[in-house]
A and B are shown apart, each in its own frame.
Chain A
């Protein structure tokens, strides 16, 4: 398997623009997680899905952030409008379902976002 795939790997945009980050989880994994990593705050869980359904979005910082998972192989994280403080590395991770008894999360390589 190719692992978790994220695109783009790098994104530079201007304040006020819409940003869309994309993730393809590992095939067969039931859980998908979006994280944000910054030097100041470390690794933060933003939202996670189970079988394409959002379970907990309490980590989403503001209404400017939204996430969708239209099918088992694709998810997006959108920021509209973007602000400089959104600059961070955004990771997507996936995990097998509970029946597999595997608790390991598999991370993508991340999208490095810079908002000017």
Chain B
């Protein structure tokens, strides 16, 4: 079945460091891919998405490129801030009724 695998956390970085959170997927068909973010005490919210191969999603300095050949959708940010501390979820949607979420990766950014 469809699935998403993302790197285990927590990831701890200093402010202004480069961030990469790896995400790979298994899916039949051609999924849309997402990154959701969950700030402390809140629900998940969409961070960015890409709907077809080679698309790049971007938002708030975060980027992820849909790589069909490696079935990956890694999240990157060039310079993280303390306010980026959150849990990040990779997800896919293949046109059925539901979205498949990864386990989440917790990010801590130190000042």
Contact = CB atoms under 8 A, between A and B. Distances in A.
Contact of A107 (B32, B44, B98, B104): B44
Nearest to B101: A43
Contacts, number: 44
Contact of B98 (A33, A91, A104, A106): A33
A105 B98 CA distance: 9
Q: Interface extent on B, as a size class?
A: 10 to 19
Contact of B93 (A42, A50, A103): A103
Mostly helix, strand, loop or mixed at chain A's interface?
A: strand
Interface in A52-111: 55-56, 91, 93, 103-110
Contacts of B103: 42-43
A4 interface: yes
Closest 8 A-B residue pairs measured CB to CB? A107-B43, A103-B93, A107-B44, A42-B103, A104-B46, A109-B43, A103-B32, A43-B101
Interface of B: 32, 34, 41-46, 49, 51, 89, 93, 97-99, 101, 103-104
